Amino acid sequence: MQVSFTAAEIAALIQPKTVRGSTAAVIHGIAGLSDAGAGDLSFLGNAKYKVEVAASKASIVLLPLDFAGEPQPDQQYLLVENPSAALSKLCSRIEQSLWPRPTAGVHPSASVDPTARVAASATVGPQCVIEAGAVIGERVHLQAQVFVGRATTIGDDSWLMPGTVVAAESVLGRRVRLQPGVIIGSDGFGYEFAEGRHVKVPQVGQVVVEDDVEMGANTTVDRARFSRTVIGAGTKIDNLVQIAHNVIVGRHCLICAQVGVSGSVTIEDYVVLGGQVGVAGHITIAKGTKVGAQSGVAADTEAGSFLNGTPAINYQLERRLVVLQRRLPDLFKRVDALTAQLRDAEKSSSG
């Protein structure tokens, strides 16, 4: 990563509420508190690392407003409401310099059907395929080997990274970002058992991805059996997630890696699903629900609930049960001992 920022440039970008100390160093890197050296910027994003701030050698440290310490010589503290969010502003600027927007146009190796409409400001990379009737919006960036199926729409300012597939009649909104290997619009997993075999149920619906959605590498979203599979505006999906047919995902949800969502599930707004959560079909995950990692959700949830375990139950209750479960071996030993005492007492009384 080749970057170069003065302290004044960083302060102008992130607009700190308070500045403590000063530094003449030019920032060339970003590092954790314990690993940073002169010329690095670091931040306190988690309170458990607070003890590392005083010893950090970073030239600039982003800190929360309530931090009470003082910087070392030639070191500057920038106090902001949210250090992690402030760092994101800087990283966004770095990203723009590392991956500048390419020159608009269609690469000679790309295959674009004559009936497709590609905006003049869009970029179509090497070996892309755009089928009949597809619409590619303004400033869209299709990197190498992207497939855009028949009658698919890609909204303005979207960015599809190498190897992504958007199958026929899918709709992507504006500013959608798909990491490498994402597949949108693959057939839903639908079969009926008839005459001794599994008969494929045609999947004739579509996928609609609304504005500002991001999806991680190798995530898949299946087309609906009929009607639509929907990913709501602002939702962020991690790597290796499976969204089945006719699922409706609400707005501004967070779905972490390796989550599997079965068919016809409704996930309402602001839901958070931890890594490897499994969701059974035909249920509703209510607004604001949070589900801990590796949990299994098999029933409707209540709005704002925090669940954990398999089957998923109230988080606090599940934690208590885990503690009690660890005590079961001792409990059985005590029960066995009491049983033996009772047996001995019965023998003594009968004798």
**What is the spatial distance between Cα 64 and Cα 17, in angstroms, rounded to a whole number?**
10
Edge-to-edge strands of the sheet including 29-30?
18-22, 75-80, 60-64, 40-43, 29-30
**What is the spatial distance between Cα 59 and Cα 77, in angstroms, rounded to a whole number?**
9
**Assigned token pair, 177:** 């970002």
The label of the residue with tokens 């102008």 reads: 12
Q: Is 164 exposed, middle or buried (0-12, 13-18, 19+ CB in 10 A)?
A: buried
Which mean pLDDT values do the consecutive 10-residue runs of the chain (351 residues) have? 87 96 95 95 94 96 96 97 94 81 92 98 98 98 98 98 98 98 97 95 96 98 97 98 98 98 98 98 98 97 96 90 88 89 82 61
Upstream peptide bond of 311 is cis (omega within 30 degrees of 0): yes
Concerning whether 141 is annotated as a catalytic residue, the answer is no
Q: Element (H or E) spanning 331, and its range?
A: helix 328-350
Catalytic residue among 28, 245, 252, 282: 245
Q: In terms of pTM, does the model score above 0.75?
A: yes
Q: State the alpha helices, DSSP H only, in 45-99.
A: 83-98
Residue 27 backbone phi and psi in degrees, to 5: -80, 125
Q: Going by C-beta distance under 8 Å and a sequence separation of 6 or more, which residues neighbour residue 29?
A: 1, 3, 39, 40, 41
